[in-house]
Amino acid sequence: MFVGDVVGKPGRQLLAQLLPSLLEKEQLDLVVANGENAAGGLGITPEVAGELFAMGVDVITSGNHLWDKKEVMPFLEKEERLLRPLNWPGDPPGRGSLVLQSRSGVPVAVVCAMGRVFAPVLLDCPFRALAREVDRLRAHTPVILVDFHAEATSEKVAMGWFLDGRVSAVIGTHTHVQTADEAILPGGTAYITDAGMTGPWQSVIGMRTETIVQRFLDQLPSRFEVARGPRQFNAVYLDVDEGSGRARAVRRLFWREDGGVAFPGAV
């Protein structure tokens, strides 16, 4: 299962509430969550990462907000289960991928990369970086999950087709709005443009609505704060053939705790 961007304390609390039962009910073999917004809505700390690992998350992926908490820098050097974007320029701390054993003993590779369209920094080419890394990882396992953290829908869709047949899944993150285009591409790669968000839904992508709306109105800097109130849980279930690495099924999960819309597969 891939959990959409966990936003602040509300997102962490909801994940802690739901994950134990999902692990048992769905017999989850591996749980990956994007955690770049898990600490106060911007960034992640060693303590928050430890909290996510303790509740059953196996790998934490990230994105451009990974660096927002300075204490994460030395932590990245020693905690291989917290991934930075593979194609971040220069020589940043941490790593962009890892291979680990699932609960049933199957080797699984997880990769994190960022798109360049509308990106806040000059990133290395994600297509070339992922092509090289996927070739390297396939020597270890055919089961490869890619978190592609990107703004532009077109870039995410292009990445799905680019990696089709080479990885098990391409899961888009960053926009915090779950898309309804989950599919298995012809080469056997599961794809969705965005997994969505786990956090307060009466918000603007997890942040207080009045603050964000005012910023659009006056264009002045403002401090973003995580919203309160009813929460939502967004995730994607994947069923992958361990021998070939081809996806057999992909199913999105969308749930709101106040009786809101729930698509098939909701908790």
Q: What is the DSSP string of 108-137?
A: EEEEEEE--TT-SS-PPPHHHHHHHHHHHH
Q: What is the pLDDT of residues 161-195, one digit of tens each?
A: 999 999 999 999 999 999 999 999 999 999 999 99
Of residues 65, 149, 174, 176, which has the active-site annotation? 65
Residue 184 lies in a domain: yes
Known catalytic residue at 65: yes
pLDDT of 121 above 90: no
Its domain, for residue 107, covers: 2-256
- pLDDT value for 221: 87
13 Cβ contact partners less than 8 Å away, ≥ 6 residues apart: 231
34 Cβ contact partners less than 8 Å away, ≥ 6 residues apart: 2, 3, 4, 5, 6, 60, 61, 62, 63, 147, 149, 173, 195
Residue 262 lies in a domain: no
pLDDT of 266 above 90: no
Q: What is the pLDDT of residues 54-86, one digit of tens each?
A: 999 999 999 999 999 999 999 999 999 999 999
Residue 21 lies in a domain: yes
Mean pLDDT of 206-233: 93
Q: What is the pLDDT of residues 19-40, one digit of tens each?
A: 999 999 999 999 999 999 999 9
The token duo for 40 is 């106060």
- pLDDT value for 42: 93
Residue 264 lies in a domain: no
**Domains in the chain, number:** 1
Q: What is the CATH number of the domain that holds 238?
A: 3.60.21.10
